[in-house]
Amino acid sequence: MKVVALVGSTRKNSTTRKAVDIVTSEIKKHDIEVDIIHFADVKLPIYEGDLDKEHYPTEVKQFIEKMAEADGVILASPEYHGSVSGVLKNALDYVGAREMSGKIAAIVCTAGSKLGAANTVNTLHQICRNLHAWALPQSPSIPASYEAFEPDGSLKDDNLQGRLEALGGSLAEELTMRK
């Protein structure tokens, strides 16, 4: 089984990536392969609706293929202006229900504000519905993420750390049950 994790941040030292690392460490305990696509390292061109799929650049074709082959996905985004990051939305514009239908999705978001990323969580749930994917109901967000992590990458808040670990465990359980 394979999970593709999309880290919707372009920052090298991204708190969203740190959150994904916590979730994926739990998934790996279940012998599930994880492929992390961090948009700080992977650059996709801006989606062009008029471009035929056969003319997509190689990196886009490879991205779509990875998404199609995945059994489950992690969608992770910082909250930018009350919504999902542009790089994650751009990447998701390249995939459709053909690649996502029936897949289980785990959603985790980060926010600079102390309010958390509820808007981004809700937006990603809506995108999953439109792509015919099944988003897990628990979708933790990390408020004030710039100060939420220890130097080792764990969260300072043990309860929040547990929620991210539980999200990874839930995704692994759902995938295992479907196998």
User: Which tens digits make up the pLDDT trace of 119-162?
Assistant: 999 999 999 999 999 999 999 999 999 999 999 999 999 999 99
| pLDDT at 179 > cutoff 90 | no
**The pLDDT of residue 52:** 82
CA-wise closest residue to 95 among 146, 50, 129, 61: 61
Per-residue confidence (pLDDT) for residue 8, from 0 to 100: 97
Q: What is the pLDDT of residues 38-96, one digit of tens each?
A: 999 999 999 988 888 888 999 999 999 999 999 999 999 999 999 999 999 999 999 99
Q: Which residues of 113-141 are buried (b: 16+ CB within 10 A; e: fewer)?
A: eeebbebbbebbbebbeebebebbeebbb
Place of tokens 């690392």: 21
What is residue 59's predicted lDDT score, i.e. its pLDDT?
Answer: 95
3-state secondary structure 2-60: EEEEEECCCCCCCHHHHHHHHHHHHHHCCCCEEEEEECCCCCCCCCCCCCCHHHCCHHH
pLDDT-based confidence at residue 31 (cuts at 50, 70, 90): very high
The structural domains of the chain, ordered by start, are: 2-178 (3.40.50.360)
